[in-house]
Amino acid sequence: MIDPPEDRMKPSTSHEPDSFFACSNCGATHPRKGFPFKCSKCGGHFDFIEPLRYEQPAPASQEPGISRFSSSFPLHPEAEFLSLGEGDTPLIELKRGARSVFLKCEHLNPTGSFKDRGTAVLISALRSEGVTVALEDSSGNAGASFAAYAARAGIEATVFVPDYASGPKQAQIQAYGARIVRIPGPRSAVTEAVQSEAEGEGVYASHAYLPHGLAGMATVAYELVEQLGRAPGAVVTPVGQGTLFLGLYRGFLALRQAGVIAQLPKMVGVQAQACAPIWAVYNAGAAGLGWVREGLTVAEGIRILHPIRGDRILEALDDSGGLMVAVDEGTILPARDELARQGLYVEPTSAVVWAALSQCSEQLEDPVVLVLTGHGLKSAPSA
Ligand SMILES: [Zn+2]
């Protein structure tokens, strides 16, 4: 079978036999062992050399959640997969006017967000290599997830957060026993701070720079196809770093390659108008970068000015015939409230997918899936 060219590593030079990761910029390779977040030659980030492979779980598999798919994770064959029961989230059908849409309830994962799927894979990799001290930066959800799985793995965790991260998320991170470091200023300042500390003791286990978590996110695609009995017509997700968006896309690619589905769903990414770099570039090309800013938004989880895998997100949009939507700030909290009135309490970042539907519904084929990413209990009560 031929690998889909759109998800191949570039450049396609031959690699050292034990190479596992390659720099997305210069092609420098790295073995499976270790957690290279930045290329020492050019500063680029690493990705897997091989595309994800989907293997159908055995029908009799009793393994809970995403453990069923662990053979597709980038772990050493001897590594134990460490789970808190993530995955197997409900798919709820709701009416939106005359139309039915499906909501994938990722806010019901163990720490209240979709991040747990990726964290389970990353922490399992860290533990299998004997890492005992690790650092992460996050606007909140990835940090809380990281703190929980680190606690379960016996890894000492430090999480850098922007000081605007919601109180409940900060409390959750600390409750798991992680050290929390609050950084004033924009989200990008937090990444700069953690990278400077990561030069000392501890592994910088970034959910954004390291590709491990993408394999965990791909399990959302596997579950959706199981739950619907077919590929969705469209999948709508919030996009900050785009790990969920890209993980889903790669999961659908793997399913297509395995012959489980014939066609990719249309991948729809949603950003808040206040900070919408992918939307700007997708719609206006490079010129769009000129007017993107990191403005304030209640969708704090997607306030990312420079998505690390922005080029990959753009490729996925093109390849799937997808689209980017930017939602007006004033529509986000009403969308959150509309979902809550139907029994689904999510944080404002999650609600952008519901808000986006008014702009793009007519362009989407059934079945349409919206991914709800974070629980409402994690947002500040005033939001
Ligand atoms: Zn490089």
If pLDDT is split at 50, 70 and 90, which confidence band does 382 have?
low
Q: What is the pLDDT of residue 188?
A: 84
Cα 29 to averaged position of ligand 1 atoms, centre (Å): 8
Cα 43 to averaged position of ligand 1 atoms, centre (Å): 6
Query: Mean per-residue pLDDT for 23-30?
Result: 96
Cα 94 to averaged position of ligand 1 atoms, centre (Å): 46
Is it the case that residue 7 has pLDDT exceeding 70? no
Rounded-to-integer distance, Cα 245 and Cα 254, Å? 14
List, for residues 268-297, the tens digit of each pLDDT value: 999 999 999 999 999 999 888 888 988 999
Higher pLDDT, 339 or 56: 339
Environment of ion ligand 1 (residues, CB < 5 A) = 23, 25-26, 28, 39, 41-42, 44
Is it the case that residue 85 has pLDDT exceeding 60? yes
Cα 46 to averaged position of ligand 1 atoms, centre (Å): 8
Tokens 């990835």 belong to residue: 142
Cα 108 to averaged position of ligand 1 atoms, centre (Å): 37
Cα 22 to averaged position of ligand 1 atoms, centre (Å): 8
Cα 27 to averaged position of ligand 1 atoms, centre (Å): 6
Is it the case that residue 14 has pLDDT exceeding 90? no
Q: What is the pLDDT of residue 2?
A: 41
Rounded-to-integer distance, Cα 122 and Cα 133, Å? 14
Cα 62 to averaged position of ligand 1 atoms, centre (Å): 42
Is it the case that residue 164 has pLDDT exceeding 90? no
pTM score of the predicted model = 0.93
Cα 173 to averaged position of ligand 1 atoms, centre (Å): 33
